Amino acid sequence: MAERSATTSTIDRVTGGTRLRRLRRSDWVRRLVRETDIRVEDLIWPIFVREGDGDPEPVASMPGVFRRSVKGCAQAAREAAALGIPVVALFPYTDASQRDETGSEALNPDNLVCRATRAIKDAEPEIGILCDVALDPYTTHGHDGLVRNGVILNDETVDVLCRQALVQARAGCDIVGPSDMMDGRVACIRAALDGDGFGDTMIMSYAAKYASAFYGPFRDAVGSAGALKGDKRTYQMDMGNTAEALREAAQDIAEGADMIMVKPGLPYLDVLARLVDEFRMPTFAYQTSGEYATIMAAAQNGWIDGDRAMFESLRAFKRAGAAGILTYFAPKVAEALHRG
């Protein structure tokens, strides 16, 4: 029996008799009417690959995240596939001795990412592989492109990125993810792939990638933090802009992107929702290293419930319309989802 009081008639008048709390009364009904949820199929797991054979090496600023050997990546991919995670994304920790001004290691068909790609395809042919197209893990200056007199060169960089994408496609990567924010790169990469017999290789463009403070731990993980000279504001987007994100996405789609991405994730949820609404493309969110580290650090201090914060943040992406999420939590969430 619902409670009745002197105010009931007022409440009935303003609500028209509708009591929205009725559907929140117990767990089963909340689950019954829940509009969005996270599934293992929504997850893309970014993993870091390094030289050598040793055990996974922890990344200090990303508790629970490791740099793995090539073999270790294959093992991780096998675990990911067993959990039902559809895609892993590969990022290399390139030895300082292999970095140079032009990031030439990016074009080495035997670089870490290519070797890891082949090892994963060998071990687990049924998992998708996403490779990042950008030069920052390979350059001594830590920028995503070629630099002359302090200026990041657009067109010359795009030439190199096309060759990098080809090297990755030849190694067996399924999706290339240009994360560099150069103009016109999607069209050029598409043409390069098609011209080399890789018409089926997909492009997930980092369409709206902002110059953000939330990439810090990632730059530790790939070893470009100390190297980076200046910042990336002449190519990554300004944090105040949304209309520009729509233009970036429209451009990438017109150039042939199969999927688009917004990065970082939570601080740009509005941008994600708008892109989904506007373009109806498979649109992904990247929950960046800084977002991951923020949740982990607070959880480790006992300031928030880490598991709940993890699920809440991931559900937010789905609620905003994301097709999927790149997240360092992927294996942890997948395990939790399997436990039920």
Active site residues: 209, 263
Comparing CB distances to ligand PBG, the nearer of 59 and 278 is 59
- Binding map of ligand PBG across residues 101-140, x = CB under 6 A, - = no contact: -------------------------------x-x-x----
C-alpha 212/C-alpha 249 separation (Å) is 18
Residues 6+ apart with CB under 8 A from 276: 283, 320, 321, 322
- Binding map of ligand PBG across residues 142-181, x = CB under 6 A, - = no contact: --x----------------------------------x--
**How many other C-beta atoms lie within 10 A of the C-beta of residue 289?**
25
Treating both helix axes as pointing N-terminal to C-terminal, what angle do 306-319 and 269-279 enclose, rounded to 10 degrees?
30
Q: Where are the beta strands (DSSP E) in 23-110?
A: 43-49, 57-58, 66-68, 87-92
**How many other C-beta atoms lie within 10 A of the C-beta of residue 246?**
17
Q: Establish if 215 lies at the interface with ligand PBG (CB under 6 A).
A: yes
Question: In 229-300, which residue ranges form alpha helices assigned H by DSSP?
Answer: 243-255, 269-279, 289-300
The DSSP bridge partners found for residue 146 are 153
Comparing CB distances to ligand PBG, the nearer of 124 and 136 is 136
C-alpha 325/C-alpha 311 separation (Å) is 12
Q: Which of residues 280-299 bind ligand PBG (CB under 6 A)?
A: 288-290
Q: How far is the CB of 31 from ligand PBG (least distance, A)?
A: 31
- Binding map of ligand PBG across residues 238-277, x = CB under 6 A, - = no contact: ----------------------------------------
In this structure, the strands spanning 57-58 and 43-49 are: unpaired
| Span from 114-122, 158-166, 211-219, 330-338 in contact with ligand PBG (CB under 6 A) | 211-219
Kindly determine how many residues on this chain lie close enough to bind ligand PBG according to the rule CB under 6 A.
12
Q: How far is the CB of 316 from ligand PBG (least distance, A)?
A: 17
Q: How far is the CB of 288 from ligand PBG (least distance, A)?
A: 4
**Chain positions contacting ligand PBG, by CB under 6 A:** 132, 134, 136, 144, 179, 215, 218-219, 232, 288-290
